[in-house]
């Protein structure tokens, strides 16, 4: 149990376009979802935290107008990278946390590799 999926697993887009990444909790309700970014050979850095039905909380240095997060339901959160640029190329990983044990900890998705040309 406690499976988190992401779609797409990889995406290539042109500079200036927007791209949406989906994160789904498949077998539990996720009250909170987290978005991380990982640049090559670096660690995961938390970008934002979103609670179902409320606005996301962004970490310092993350542009909320550029990285739009929507957590519209208890099983789905989306990250939209608007007006993407090559420097946004990265590996994006989401995680989801349930309401109560045993899903109260974070479960990570498989990641989405974004390449902006």
Partner 1 sequence: AQKVTQAQTEISVVEKEDVTLDCVYETRDTTYYLFWYKQPPSGELVFLIRRNSFDEQNEISGRYSWNFQKSTSSFNFTITASQVVDSAVYFCALSDPFYGQNFVFGPGTRLSVLP
Interface residues with partner 1 (CB under 8 A) are 32, 34, 41-46, 49, 91, 93, 97, 104-106, 108, 110-111, 113
For residues 56 and 66, the answer to whether their CB atoms sit within 8 Å is no
Tell the residue number behind the tokens 């200036």, with chain if given: 16
Residue 3, helix vs strand vs coil? coil
For residues 98 and 31, the answer to whether their CB atoms sit within 8 Å is yes
Q: How far is the CB of 23 from partner 1 (least distance, A)?
A: 13
Nearer to partner 1, 86 or 100 (CB): 100
DSSP 66: T
Nearer to partner 1, 13 or 46 (CB): 46
CA distance 71 to 75: 8
Q: How far is the CB of 20 from partner 1 (least distance, A)?
A: 19
Nearer to partner 1, 8 or 104 (CB): 104
Phi and psi for 86 in degrees, rounded to 5? -50, -30
Nearer to partner 1, 81 or 114 (CB): 114
Q: How far is the CB of 16 from partner 1 (least distance, A)?
A: 26
């Amino acid at each position: 149990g406690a499976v988190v999926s992401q779609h797409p697993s990889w995406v290539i887009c042109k500079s200036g376009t927007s791209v949406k990444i989906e994160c789904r909790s498949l077998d539990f309700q996720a009250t909170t979802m987290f978005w991380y970014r990982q640049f090559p050979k670096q660690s995961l850095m938390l970008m934002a935290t979103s609670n179902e039905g409320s606005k996301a909380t962004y970490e310092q240095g993350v542009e909320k107008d550029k990285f739009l997060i929507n957590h519209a339901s208890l099983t789905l959160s989306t990250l939209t990278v608007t007006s993407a640029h090559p420097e946004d190329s990265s590996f994006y990983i989401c995680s989801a946390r349930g309401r109560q044990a045993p899903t109260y900890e974070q479960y990570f998705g498989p990641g989405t590799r974004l390449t902006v040309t």
